[in-house]
Amino acid sequence: MNTAMPHTDGAGTLDQALAHAERLLERDPSLAGEQAAEILKVVPEHPAALRVLAIARAMRGDADAALAILEPLARAQPSWAQVHFDLGVVLGQRGRGEEATAALRRAVALKPGLPQAWRLLGDHLLAAGDHDAADVAYAQHVRHSVRDPRLLAAATALTENRIPQAEALLREHLREAPTDIAAIRMFAEVALRLGRNEDALNLLARCLELAPTFHAARQNYALALHRSNQPEQALAEIERLLAVAPEHPGYRNLKAVVLCRIGDVEPAIALYADLLGTYPGNPKVWMSYGHALKTAGQQEQAIAAYRRSLALEPSFGEVWWSLANLKTFRFSADDLMTMREQLARDDLAEDDRLHLEFAVGKALEDAGDYASSFAHYAQGNAIRRGQLRYNADETSARVRHIRERYTREFFASRDGSGCQVGDPIFIVGLPRAGSTLIEQILSSHSQVEGTMELPEVTSITRLLREQGDADSAMPYHDVLATLDRDALRELGERYLAHTRIHRKTSAPLFIDKMPNNFMHIGLIQLMLPNARIIDARRHPLACCFSGFKQHFARGQSFSYSLDDLGRYYRDYVALMGHFDAVLPGRIHRVIYERMVEDTEGEVRRLLDYCGLPFESSCLRFFENARPVRTASSEQVRRPIYREGVDHWQHYAPWLAPLENVLGTVLGSYPDVPIGEAG
């Protein structure tokens, strides 16, 4: 019983009766409730007895009866942390997630040393899409769960993001207590924050080997698997969690996230719709729901979901940008006024400001106010560029290294290596160069399945990098050069195995549309020599400016400066020219403007390269209802339109810096300038 609770005459006897009732809760909730009811006959409205009665009813499955007691009790006892925690638990059981979150926040504010309140709060925050706040809550759970002074110090360091100190303390502790599962889980969290995903996975697997019912560790494991591009394994862990707690909001949210990642959007939509029953006032859940609906091609429903999110939080910049990013959506005058009002706020978060600048730029572009539009795009890019550490010199150095390493002789000496399967079709190039259009055309063929921008090639490069010398400038390329035929074949087989979960049909060929894979053509050639490689290319000014006005969810760090964009395009042209020279005929190039002018001719050439017979459905690609996740998702659901080709010219007065950086690459387009190839 809370020592702050009021006592009455015969307090010792009353305290004994209450203590007995609380002990009964664990083994016989019905009897505990009866005991509490007897106490209330003697001392009506006694707070501690009411709490026991409420918990007893909740444990017997009568959450409504429990809430009928707990809600007025919490109002009457605003400083009693335990009753706010109990209220949060039962509200969560009843699917009232937002009220549960508020009650749990109140509980930990009153008494921070409630570990289970922190854990449940983290679960609700995670389910509501607030990952950063959930991480803080989980760290506080760990901090308040341990009693060992060294573990407590490590948990405090982790909570305060003092990662090196936390790592040192945990290493010392685990040397002496190697099976301490709480410490192992904390050490995995350190590894995740340092980007050492493989270490985190190994630690969490060990944790679960020691304690299979450690559900918090399994949830961490599922999340780490998801972040490590192992969605199939992540789903298996999530299903094990859901088997124990099928209504757990955090588990269901994580399942929806992973399902979206692998293209299973319909069940993800159902999960988000269900979560909105628990968190109807949470703008982040509405946004996630909108994203899933957009991917499924349900544009009107997606817009409605985004609108619901903005009604709850008008400053939510990412949602404004999500509407703009539909490309075919048009903002109203009222929308523009609201966005400008939000931008005028002094207290607007930087991330919201960043997204709003891009969204206002799009609204003004559609209104034909190109000067103001460019100013907002430039401001959004400046904010994002300041957040990143992109170095164009490093990209140029990497391209030079690849051109020097991957020669005709290099490939000739490895002829016949790799996995000989020819299923994948890689579409590479720069973002906004027409790759989604090519994907949509090809995936409209009966023998080709469209998937998404698959991260598996990047995962393989990370694996190779980890095997290399940490002091090497290019460890991934150094390791790749040492691999024998068997190792290269295994890499190809790994790629096919890890991408199989994204394949939903029996079509023999499938598309990997990760544009940045042009940096990894050497790897693709060595591990999958029979895969097709298609280079999507667009006019330099059109492509670069389209990238400049696009805020990407992740990656593409080169795209937030006209100078960086121009240099990146120039490096891309040089690298593709090199592979044209050392692997002649290996890569098929699609020039976007030619595809617009002579669609059927270009489609026939594309299909010939892929070894496919012509099918007229490829010309009606806009009828294809497959899920599309990229920024062009709505555009490729419409016929090709000529107006988009020259749209960049509206911004020509402000593109001189880009033209200067592009140099001869601009004047030679679509050909490669002399000196850029080979």
486 burial level (CB within 10 Å; 0-12, 13-18, 19+): exposed
Q: What average pLDDT is seen over the chain?
A: 90
Tell me which residue of 105, 111, 184, 175 sits closest to 146, measured CA to CA. Answer: 184
pLDDT, residue 611, reads 96
pLDDT, residue 140, reads 83
Q: What is the DSSP letter of 418?
A: S
Beta-bridge mates of residue 428: 535
d(C-alpha 226, C-alpha 453), whole Å: 15
Tens digits of per-residue pLDDT, 165-195? 999 999 988 888 888 888 898 899 899 888 7
pLDDT, residue 473, reads 76
pLDDT, residue 43, reads 86
Q: Which residue has the higher pLDDT, 160 or 82?
A: 82
Tens digits of per-residue pLDDT, 275-312? 999 899 999 999 999 999 998 889 999 999 999 999 99
pLDDT, residue 639, reads 61
- One DSSP character per residue, 135-203 reads HHHHHHHHHHH--SHHHHHHHHHHHTT-HHHHHHHHHHHHHH-TT-HHHHHHHHHHHHHTT-HHHHHHH
Rounded to an integer, the average pLDDT of 506-532 is 96
Tens digits of per-residue pLDDT, 87-100? 999 999 888 999 99
Q: Find out whether 325 and 290 touch, Cβ atoms under 8 Å.
A: no
d(C-alpha 258, C-alpha 224), whole Å: 11
Interior angle at CA 560, CA 555 and CA 562, nearest 5:
135
- Give percent above pLDDT 70 in the chain: 94
Rounded to an integer, the average pLDDT of 516-530 is 97
Identify the band that residue 3 occupies on the pLDDT scale cut at 50, 70 and 90.
very low
Identify the band that residue 637 occupies on the pLDDT scale cut at 50, 70 and 90.
very low
625 pLDDT above the threshold of 90: no
Identify the band that residue 2 occupies on the pLDDT scale cut at 50, 70 and 90.
very low
Burial annotation 457-480 (CB, 10 A radius, 16+ → b, else e): bbbbbbebbeebeeeeebbbbbbb
**Phi-psi bin for 585: left (phi > 0), alpha (psi -120 to 50), beta?**
left
Tell me which residue of 518, 528, 499, 511 sits closest to 438, measured CA to CA. Answer: 511
640 pLDDT above the threshold of 80: no
Rounded to an integer, the average pLDDT of 589-607 is 94
- Give percent above pLDDT 90 in the chain: 64
Interior angle at CA 201, CA 195 and CA 204, nearest 5:
120
Rounded to an integer, the average pLDDT of 72-83 is 94
395 pLDDT above the threshold of 90: yes
d(C-alpha 596, C-alpha 240), whole Å: 49
Tell me which residue of 330, 518, 529 sits closest to 411, measured CA to CA. Answer: 529
Residue 87, both tokens: 């209220």
Rounded to an integer, the average pLDDT of 479-491 is 95
Question: What's the per-residue H, E or C state across 393-415?
Answer: HHHHHHHHHHHHHCCHHHHHCCC
pLDDT, residue 5, reads 38
pLDDT, residue 644, reads 67
- From 70-84, 173-187, 508-522, 553-567, the region with the lowest mean pLDDT: 173-187
Rounded to an integer, the average pLDDT of 655-677 is 88
d(C-alpha 378, C-alpha 374), whole Å: 6
Total length of the chain: 678
Which of 44-58, 133-147, 353-367 shows the highest mean pLDDT? 353-367
Tell me which residue of 156, 155, 2 sits closest to 79, measured CA to CA. Answer: 2
Residue 12, H or E segment: helix 11-27
Looking at residue 116, its amino acid is: Q
Tens digits of per-residue pLDDT, 262-278? 889 999 999 999 999 98
Q: Find out whether 632 and 437 touch, Cβ atoms under 8 Å.
A: yes
Question: What's the per-residue H, E or C state across 631-673?
Answer: CCCCHHHCCCCHHHCCHHHHHHHHCHHHHHHHCHHHHHCCCCC
Sign, CA torsion 588/591/595/601: negative
pLDDT, residue 641, reads 60
Tens digits of per-residue pLDDT, 203-252? 999 999 998 998 989 999 999 999 888 899 999 999 999 999 998 888 99
